[in-house]
Amino acid sequence: MIALAQCRPYGARLGLAAGAGLVLASGQAPFGLWWLALPALAGLVALVAGAASRQQAALIALFGGAGHFAFALSWIVEPFLIDVETYGWMAPFALVLMAFGLALFWGLAGWLSHVAPGWRRPVAFATALAAVELARGYVLTGFPWALIGHVWVGAWPAQVASLVGPSGLTLLTTLAAALPVALRWRGLGLSAALLAAASGFGLWRLSLPEPAPAGPVLRLVQPNAEQRMKWDPDLAATHFGRLLALSSEGPRPDLVIWPETSVPYLLDRSPGILSEIAAAGRGATVVVGIQRGEGWRFWNSLAVVAPDGRIAGLYDKHHLAPFGEYVPMGDRMFDLFGIRAFAAQEGFGYSAGEGPQVLDLGPGLGKALPLICYEAVFPQDLRTAERPDWILQITNDAWFGTFNGPYQHLAQTRLRAIEMGLPLARVANTGVSALIDARGRVLAELPLGEAGYKDVALPGAFPATPFSRLGELPLLACLFALCGLLFATRGPHRA
């Protein structure tokens, strides 16, 4: 396969690489075609391994990554289409820059892989690709969206995330694709054995007895406020009234949950709304997504409203989306040049909260780890000093459109439940709102684009998983071990 890749004209190989990356993206939600993504990744591995030089390997990997991210992250154009007349022209530039910007990590993996000799090169690329995908979750505040390992969400091997996290799933996938390229039929057997072992572990974990249920009944409230109309002052009362009505219907739950920034008023400047929210809860605690401010600073917050109308808990989002919620270094860099308008302290974007925290919601409801939107894509942020009883995510996925963005976000929250061994309640403005158990299975959901509510019983939690205790350490050990094996001895050339 490597020899065949070497025979093709260089320009054609770049096109093939981009095509392979695009097909690889079919493994991401909502498609989940892992059986198509895996051979596409193997094809990309062969193209990179067959390159004539490091520079060519880097470019081939770069184009493969660009094809992957252009399709997987096509939702990035959606925010620019909210006000298409003003911002629509930016959409194609945003997609191209995002695709090639993230693909630089893959280009680096291609360049590094050519340090290895001969038949080891495909395995070196698999190892380097897993390493740079891990780095992508941390560099410049991180963006671990559309990781290669995400193709397994909903399949048996996804349960391996409880051991080694999403980047461990990525290494599993890259190795499974690279071994047949490196060792042909013997490698195909090793790849099959690797996937069989991952599937076997997944089946075993899924067959474990159900943990004891937590007990409380949660109401997931999905108002379906269209993004382009959400902040219309003339519609604010209508949207707020819809939330109140959905919260006060039917039998009373133990906890009512509203999505991110669902309250169209500022917390500190609209004191009367708390009594209305409490009244809609009819004695139940209500969790709401709301903005708050102090002077010219503003926070994207989650507030816990007690039955008597007081604030019983408050959490400020700390992992903000660069350029979407704040301008990086805006408070310092722009101040050096006298440009105050881009600083969070001057009201441009949000200020970051203090960090992850566990909220005690009181007897019966237990301790919840709150996540606001984007924070659910960072597994490292869930490893708090105090282990919560469950995870609570509020989000507004209306920004992501209706094609693939909301479903990819949901898929990542399913992995967070698996990694931590904790149930997760997810409430989204336009959907998909869902209750997810500690094995990442969706037990109940409100579909995309519908207004309504769903009362669900919170399932139980598993004991702390290896990943919740050790994080990325086992994966780093595997990566170092692979590097040692690749360069310990120089075997014969088998390509």
**Residue 337 per-residue DSSP state:** T
3-state secondary structure of 247: helix
* Beta-carbon contacts of residue 179 (< 8 Å; ≥ 6 apart): 122, 123, 187, 188, 190, 191, 194
Residue 373 annotated among the catalytic residues of the structure: yes
The residue with tokens 């990356």 is: 21
For the sheet with 442-446, list strands across it.
Answer: 359-360, 367-372, 390-395, 424-428, 433-436, 442-446
Residue 317 annotated among the catalytic residues of the structure: yes
The backbone torsions φ and ψ at residue 359, rounded to the nearest 5 degrees and listed phi first, read: -100, 130
What residue type is assigned to position 2 of the chain? I
What is the sign, positive or negative, of the torsion defined by CA atoms of 68, 72, 78, 79? negative
d(CA 206, CA 273): 44
3-state secondary structure of 295: coil
3-state secondary structure of 368: strand
The residue with tokens 């490196």 is: 182
Q: Which of 78, 230, 317, 419 is catalytic?
A: 317
Which letter, b or e, does each residue of 228-264 get, where b requires 16 or more Cβ atoms within 10 Å of its Cβ? eebeeeeeeeebbebbbebbeeeeebbbbbbbbbbbb
d(CA 449, CA 446): 9
Distances (CA, A) of 230 to 223, 318, 400: 10, 23, 15
Q: What does the chain come to in residues? A: 495
**Residue 173 per-residue DSSP state:** H
Q: Which of 78, 133, 230, 260 is catalytic?
A: 260
- What tokens does 163 get? 């051991």
Q: Which of 133, 230, 325, 373 is catalytic?
A: 373
Residue 260 annotated among the catalytic residues of the structure: yes
d(CA 126, CA 128): 6
Q: Which residues are catalytic?
A: 260, 317, 373
